[in-house]
Each structure stands twice: as structure tokens, then as C-alpha cells.
Chains A and B, each alone.
Chain A
Amino acid sequence: MSNTITIDGQTIPFQEGQTIMDAALAAGVYIPHLCHNPEFTPHGSCKLCTVTVNGRNVASCTMPAVEGQQIANNTDELNAKRRALTQMLFVEGNHFCPFCEKSGNCNLQAVAYHLDMMSPHYNHFYPAREVDASHPDILLDRNRCILCELCVRASRDVDGKEVFGLSGRGIDCKLVVNSSSGDLVDTDLAATDKAASVCPTGAIIVKRHGFSVPIGQRIFDHKDISQVQLEAAQKERGHE
């Protein structure tokens, strides 16, 4: 068996066990994504990586690559829907880029740039969300959380601590931490933990590092997220 799939007319190889996203990243094909991070178990919640496989929409980060799949990815229709999802993420939280420490290094912002998002389009929710500054080294600002659960996965699967989890339901879903007080300071989270650095937005940041990289030198100041993430994937492959 040749083990290939076709994305937007380009035939790429895949290995048994790879998802469409894995195969695409390895072949240098960018599929927009936010909750996915190649270091962790796929999650499939943000739905930005949705592609059309043989006429059906699926999340490429969780869908196994199967011989002969005909996949539509970089189409105007899908990108318009991805932009709409990104806009939803902006209005459901409180994302104010001008004063966010993560600005310029934020995946949410960068994906929005990639998708030519000129405004959040939908009406803002301006939800009341808690900021937890109790921890001496780490800030948790739920205003910026997009519920991707990368911190949940990192803490559970890499740090072996299970500091984070989700509670609530629907639009009231929120990130909660593993302490009776509900405060981050009462968990065993450390600034060196994977969970402290994995957040794709500015919801979890290590204190006293904000704005340390000047504007113009930040990750996405001159490079589109597609280029950044494909380069990272390539580097990762070089290490293997």
C-alpha cells in the first residue's frame, strides 16, 4: 500500500497511526489550528482544523489518515468558517491585544492574522471572568482562556500533576485548578512546569517576563503562523 492522502490536490505520504494533521505538518502543509499541539494527545475542540474528507467535515487533528483520502483544506469556504470560529473565540472571552503581555507571541492572534480577521464581527459577551494572581510566579487570567485544555493535558500527561481542569457547561465552561481554595497558589504548579508555558494565548503566563521581547522581534511580528508552525514541525523532524 502506498500510504498517501491528497490535500488540495497535493499527494502526501503518511505513516500508519498518523492523523491527517500529523501527515500534513510533516509534509509542510499548514492546516490552521489552536487546540492542537503536536506534543500532546489530540483534542479536537477548537474545530479550526476542520477539513473536508470525501465530502464530510472532520477535525484533522483527530481523524486518522487513511489511504486515498481526498481532502479539501485551504479553501475559501473553510477559511471563512475558520475565521468565524476565531471570531467566536474573541467575543466569548475578553481579548484585548493592546495590553496583553502575550501579544505578538499569541497563537489566537496569529491565527486571526492568518485568516485575515479584520474584526471580531459578533457581538461581544464581555463575560465576567476571574483573574488569579495568587501564585508567586504564574498568572492565570481566565479572560484570555479559549478552553483548549492544553494546560490540562500538559499538567496531567507531562507534569503528572493534574493542576488544571474544566468545570461548568456550555458557555459557562471555565478553567478550574486543583485546590480547595480554588486558587493557583494552593496547587503544586511550578513555573518550570510544562503547563505553565504551554498556553497558546495569554491566559497562563509566567510572571515578570511580560513585554521582555520588544515589538518587532516577537514570534509573529514578521512571520505568519503557518510559517512558524511548519518550521517548528520541520525542526522537530530533524531531531528525530
Chain B
Amino acid sequence: MSENKKIRVATCSLAGCFGCHMSLLDIDEKLLTLLELIEFDRTPLTDIKHCSPCDVGLIEGGVCNAENVHVLKEFRKNCKVLVAVGSCAITGGIPAMRNNIGLWECFQEVYQFEGGLEGGQVPNDPELPLPFDKVHPIYEVVNVDYFLPGCPPPADAIWKFLTDLLAGREPKLEYEMLHYD
């Protein structure tokens, strides 16, 4: 790896809670070291809206609607290495709890029964992403190169994973860094 060429990294959260992003920030002062090695492309941190060609894409969250698919495919197209970060990206996670509840029941709950919304309508604005019947992990929609489990993955695991990857090593987590919760 040439020292003056930084690794370009993009991140996003699909159907997720940004918890994995928070865990990324949780690597604390090591962020400064990290920033010497990488530069950010599209991320919620830079507020860049579209992904340009990158070395690594980190995806948090599962795929719950049409917009998620557009974003995910943009990442897949632009990122040499795509990483599923966290339980939702890997199994659907908490949002997938709705997978055995009909979409109509979900809509009713959100738009009609919720306090203050009695008698409300299900919105049909084309601006709103249309939800899928079920929430899926991202590997069911695009090819994924690596998985970094956890809810969220601990900061140390993210650090270990990224530094392995940046050093050209096959990422390997210690026992205590690998967990699904």
C-alpha cells in the first residue's frame, strides 16, 4: 500500500439504527490513526449523497424497501470490497421482526392506530420508499465480500477488522470480538 494513497471508504445505514456507525465512532482516539489511512467517501459523516469508486463499502442495516436496493446496488457497483456490518445487514435483525406480520397490519399500526393518527391514511407519495413484504439481509440482494457481526460489532472488532483489511490480511476476529448481539 503506497503511503500517500489513502484507502477510500464509504458507509451507509439501510434498515438499521446507526448503532453500527456509533460503534465505529467508538474507536475513539484510534479514529485519528484511522483517518491517516483512509478517507471517507459517501457516509452519514461527510453527508456526501452518492458513492463514487471506493475501496471499501461498509453497509449497516438490512434491505427493507426499494430505496435500500438502489443504495446497496450503488455501493456494490462502486466498492471493490463490500462489508455487511452488524446483525441487520447479516440477518435482517430487529427490522425483520416484522417479517411474519402482514404489511397491511404494519401500515395500520403505523399510520392509523398510532396515537394522534386515528383515521389517518396510508401515504402514497412517490417520494416515500416503498417497503418490501419482508426485510432481508443484504447478501440476499447483492454479493457480499465480508461479514462483521454484532449488534453492534464492538469498536475493537471494527478496528481489528479494518486494520486487518488495510494491511492486506484476511480479517480474523478474536473469540471475544465475535458475537451476534
Given a CB threshold of 8 Å, the question of whether A touches B is answered with: yes
Mask for B73-111, Cβ within 8 A of A = 1, else 0?
000000000001001001111101101100000000000
Least distance between A115 CB and chain B CB atoms (Å): 11
Within the assembled complex, what's the spacing in Å between the Cα atoms of A96 and B180? 8
- Residues of the B chain whose Cβ atoms lie less than 8 Å from the Cβ of A96: 87, 91-94, 96-97
Whether A98 pairs with B136 at a CB distance below 8 angstroms is no
Q: Identify 11 residue pairs between A and B in the complex whose beta-carbon atoms are under 8 Å apart, listed by A's number.
A: A96-B91, A96-B94, A98-B151, A116-B178, A119-B147, A119-B149, A124-B96, A126-B99, A127-B100, A129-B100, A215-B181
Q: How many residues of A contact B (CB 8 A)?
A: 28
Instruction: Select B175's contact among A95, A121, A123, A224, beta carbons within 8 Å.
Output: A224
Mask for A71-111, Cβ within 8 A of B = 1, else 0?
00000000000000000001000111111100110000100
- Residues of the A chain whose Cβ atoms lie less than 8 Å from the Cβ of B176: 221-222
Within the assembled complex, what's the spacing in Å between the Cα atoms of A112 and B181? 13
Whether B181 pairs with A103 at a CB distance below 8 angstroms is yes
- Residues of the A chain whose Cβ atoms lie less than 8 Å from the Cβ of B94: 96, 98-99
Q: A112-B180, A124-B140, A224-B175 are contacts. A97–B100 as well, Cβ < 8 Å?
A: no
A64 adjacent to chain B (CB < 8 Å): no
Whether B100 pairs with A103 at a CB distance below 8 angstroms is no
Mask for B137-181, Cβ within 8 A of A = 1, else 0?
101100010111101000000000000000000000001101111
Instruction: Select A95's contact among B91, B99, B139, B151, beta carbons within 8 Å.
Output: B91
Total A-B pairs, Cβ < 8 A? 76
Given A119-B144, A124-B92, 6 more pairs with CB closer than 8 A = A90-B91, A94-B96, A113-B175, A124-B136, A128-B100, A221-B176
Whether A98 pairs with B181 at a CB distance below 8 angstroms is yes
Instruction: Select A119's contact among B100, B134, B137, B151, beta carbons within 8 Å.
Output: B137
A114's closest neighbor in chain B, by CB?
B175
Q: A98-B180, A118-B147 are contacts. A124–B91 as well, Cβ < 8 Å?
A: yes
Within the assembled complex, what's the spacing in Å between the Cα atoms of A28 and B94? 38
Whether A124 pairs with B137 at a CB distance below 8 angstroms is yes
Least distance between A55 CB and chain B CB atoms (Å): 31
A216's closest neighbor in chain B, by CB?
B176
A129's closest neighbor in chain B, by CB?
B100
Q: How many residues of B contact A (CB 8 A)?
A: 28
A165 adjacent to chain B (CB < 8 Å): no
Instruction: Select A97's contact among B136, B137, B181, beta carbons within 8 Å.
Output: B181
A120 adjacent to chain B (CB < 8 Å): yes
Q: Secondary structure of the A side of the interface?
A: loop
Interface residues in chain A, defined as those with a beta carbon under 8 Å from any beta carbon in chain B? 90, 94-100, 103-104, 109, 112-113, 116, 118-121, 123-124, 126-129, 215, 221-222, 224
Least distance between A203 CB and chain B CB atoms (Å): 16
- Residues of the A chain whose Cβ atoms lie less than 8 Å from the Cβ of B134: 126
- Residues of the B chain whose Cβ atoms lie less than 8 Å from the Cβ of A98: 87, 93-94, 151, 180-181
- Residues of the A chain whose Cβ atoms lie less than 8 Å from the Cβ of B90: 118-120
Q: A96-B87, A96-B93 are contacts. A109–B180 as well, Cβ < 8 Å?
A: yes
A91's closest neighbor in chain B, by CB?
B91
B146's closest neighbor in chain A, by CB?
A118
A227's closest neighbor in chain B, by CB?
B175
Whether A100 pairs with B181 at a CB distance below 8 angstroms is yes
Within the assembled complex, what's the spacing in Å between the Cα atoms of A99 and B93? 9
Whether A119 pairs with B175 at a CB distance below 8 angstroms is no
- Residues of the B chain whose Cβ atoms lie less than 8 Å from the Cβ of A99: 94, 97
Whether B149 pairs with A118 at a CB distance below 8 angstroms is yes
A113's closest neighbor in chain B, by CB?
B178
B176's closest neighbor in chain A, by CB?
A222
- Residues of the A chain whose Cβ atoms lie less than 8 Å from the Cβ of B100: 94, 126-129
